[in-house]
Structure 1
Amino acid sequence: MPTYEEIQAAPKVVLHDHLDGGLRPATVHELATAIGHELPADDPESLGQWFHEAATSGSLERYLETFVHTIAVMQSAENLTRVAREFAEDLVADGVVYAEVRWAPENHLAGGLTLDGAVAAVAAGFAEVEAGGRIVVRQLLTAMRQFARAREIAELAVFWRDKGVAGFDIAGPEKGFPPTRFLDAFEYLAGENLRFTIHAGEGFGLPSIWEAVHPCGADRLGHGVRIVDDITVSADGSVELGRLASYVRDRRIPLELCPTSNVQTGAVGSIGKHPFGLLASLGFRVTINTDNRLMSDTSMTQETFLLAEAFGYDWADLERFSVNAMKSAFLPYDERVEIIHKIKDGYAGLRG
């Protein structure tokens, strides 16, 4: 099995990574101090520990409180640009060569920013790091399920396409807020030929996945881990896929799996029990993701290493997962192929 250090050097792709869940603790502390926002810890190290402990506490209230503090310091163009720049720098240091970073512009208007101004600020931060040629970063604009701005955010994503925005997403509580509630936004996106992913099959089960796939037409499933509920593994080891699971696999609909986050939220019991291993063995289009690096105290290297350790993956497996993710990216075909060649060259060099 590749070592942690070898995996860190490997070219990786992340498709499910939240901007407001990936700040540096020192940055949160510095920016909060500057604006007078009260934090639950007095220094960056303690603050980082608090974020992780709150996210793993088993309390949804404490988990959601973590985002109150990160979003609070992301209400100006200057701060958004800094957070985006540091976010991308940390990805480069982690060996990520392509990233789609999702965030909800509607959560960042308290300081007087417009939706356009917020997107422009994030684009500026990513562009500074992209100029170095080591990573390509694209935004996914997210609408929050508990609010009613999905169509507006969808239109914003279409306006910013080809200017740093690659697609659209909805996030927030699945239960009580089915994706069909925003069907007009998805129909609009389909009419504009813009691709989108939907958070589904994390906090809620198969009905959430079915709605995301069928009436809404999602290109990818954000998490999608609960698709395993439609798979039966018998005592003799034989496996039977239900109709929905078969459809997702046969249509090659990518699953944006986030192992550590899934354990934190109680979707699965442990990394060793994560359905990733089963889904990968059955030929699902699985991808490895971090979700919220600050809250989960993780990285793409960490997530990949944990899966390799749990399921005995070798270089060929890890290359396949990276290529899976790049094939699934919301980037033009020729650009995807170019990065896939770089990924294959990188893994060839690591294998010697």
Structure 2
Amino acid sequence: MAVPTAEALRRAPKVLLHDHLDGGLRPQTVLELADQAGYRDLPAGDAAALGTWFRQAADSGSLLLYLETFAHTVGVMQRPEAVRRVARECALDLAADGVVCAEVRMAPELLTAGGTPIEEAVEAILDGFAAGSTEAAEAGTPIRVGALLCAMRQADRWEEVAGLVVRYRDAGVVGFDLAGPEVGFPPDRHPEAIALLDRAGAHRTIHAGEAAGVDSIRAALDGARAERLGHGVRIADEVAADGTLGPVARRVREAQVPLEVAPSSNVQTGAYPSLAGHPVDRLHRAGFAVTVNTDNRLMSGVSATSELAAVAATFGWGWDDVARVTERALAAAFLDDTDRARLLADVVRPWYADPPT
């Protein structure tokens, strides 16, 4: 079975479920926004050096350095016009990489330190995605971008963020997420926020099974009624070498709960020692609903294409594997059924029916 090349994968239609807006800025944009905002704390003064610094700091194995990278990106995103620009460029960059449907997440509460009202931050994200999507379509690379709004686990604005998800769901917000430290901040810590989402029938994906293990996954499913798991890879802790599954793993596989797997990011943060040692292929082969994602394109120095190419090269994936994770991601996306069916029938299946050899 031939492994697809990176160039062929770039042209393939891809679906991205787990990408952070504040983890995907262009280095040149960081520099320009810092200059406009009077932000003086950047560790480098040119785009190439800054991009290298972000990757090396994120790759250092130091949680403090990893978190510092986000201090810089969020630090230059404290004005609505900056947020709008970052969101627009995000849509354009994903479209140019062959992504046809993306869900990009951001915690709007992190964009309010400079005095921007949280509603204005959300509207800036949505305006930027809409502008970028329009430009991408005009350039012949159409993309649908939905916003996921994150509440920070360690903060107390969950109900406010859940309300924003409901308020803006007809304007481009597709769901709710919990981000931040898994340990010590369970996903049912603010049950009124989860109840608000339940009453409105709002979608939610929850970060779980990244820094913490199977108990965190169980809590996300039971406490927040997660429809998808952000990362979720620690479900592999319950998959024995002989294929025997523990109770949570059996539940996740039987229900086909989508796993938003981001292999390079997991290696960076020390969850696994290398891509070869990552369970993405093992879970895929075992029948879990694996999808392949970028997490933070700037910090990891990755794209949707490069992540698929790296997984394919490491584990010998062919076009059938790429098509399967793409269709899984599209099935898991928080889209209306008409749009999903159209993308599947008109874009995804025709391309993968006859991929380049």
TM-score interval for Structure 1 and Structure 2 normalised by the shorter chain? over 0.9
Q: Are 1:157 and 2:159 matched, yes or no?
A: no
C-alpha separation in 2, matches of 1:197 and 1:162? 18
Given the alignment, which residue of 98, 115, 120 partners 1:117? 120
C-alpha separation in 1, matches of 2:56 and 2:214? 30
Q: Which amino acid aligns with 1:162?
A: D
**Which residue matches 1:270?**
274
Deviation at 1:93, TM superposition (A): 1.1
- What percent identity do the matched residue pairs reach? 51
Q: Are 1:48 and 2:56 matched, yes or no?
A: no
Tell me the SS of whatever aligns to 1:350: coil
Tell me the SS of whatever aligns to 1:179: coil
Q: Retained in 2: the 8 A contact 1:315–1:351?
A: no
C-alpha separation in 1, matches of 2:312 and 2:283? 14
**Which residue matches 2:291?**
287
Given the alignment, which residue of 232, 243, 253 partners 1:239? 243
C-alpha separation in 2, matches of 1:202 and 1:182? 21
C-alpha separation in 2, matches of 1:114 and 1:346? 43
Q: Retained in 1: the 8 A contact 2:6–2:309?
A: yes
Tell me the SS of whatever aligns to 1:232: coil
Given the alignment, which residue of 186, 189, 192 partners 2:197? 189
Deviation at 1:215, TM superposition (A): 2.6
Q: Which amino acid aligns with 1:193?
A: G
Tell me the SS of whatever aligns to 2:205: strand
C-alpha separation in 2, matches of 1:72 and 1:215? 32
C-alpha separation in 1, matches of 2:340 and 2:90? 22
Q: Which amino acid aligns with 2:336?
A: P
Given the alignment, which residue of 56, 79, 99 partners 1:96? 99
Mapping of residues 1-352 of structure 1, within 5 Å: 1-38=3-40, 39-131=42-134, 132-133=136-137, 134-233=142-241, 238-341=242-345, 342-351=347-356
Q: Which amino acid aligns with 2:23?
A: G
Tell me the SS of whatever aligns to 1:303: helix
Tell me the SS of whatever aligns to 2:277: coil
C-alpha separation in 1, matches of 2:191 and 2:232? 19
**Could you list the runs of 4 or more consecutive aligned residues of structure 1 that deviate by over 3 angstroms after TM superposition?**
none
C-alpha separation in 2, matches of 1:215 and 1:78? 36
C-alpha separation in 1, matches of 2:202 and 2:188? 18
Q: Which amino acid aligns with 1:61?
A: L
User: Taking structure 1 as the reference length, what is the TM-score of the superposition?
Assistant: 0.97
Q: Which amino acid aligns with 1:86?
A: E
C-alpha separation in 2, matches of 1:166 and 1:275? 29
String of CA shifts for 1:41-77, please: whole Å, max 9, x gaps.
1111100000000000000000000001100111111
User: Taking structure 2 as the reference length, what is the TM-score of the superposition?
Assistant: 0.96
C-alpha separation in 2, matches of 1:313 and 1:197? 27
C-alpha separation in 1, matches of 2:53 and 2:78? 22
C-alpha separation in 2, matches of 1:35 and 1:244? 47
How many residues of Structure 1 are paired with residues of Structure 2 in the alignment?
348
C-alpha separation in 2, matches of 1:102 and 1:339? 21
C-alpha separation in 2, matches of 1:216 and 1:141? 15
Q: Retained in 1: the 8 A contact 2:149–2:173?
A: yes
Q: Which amino acid aligns with 1:344?
A: R
Q: Retained in 2: the 8 A contact 1:55–1:296?
A: yes
Deviation at 1:349, TM superposition (A): 4.1
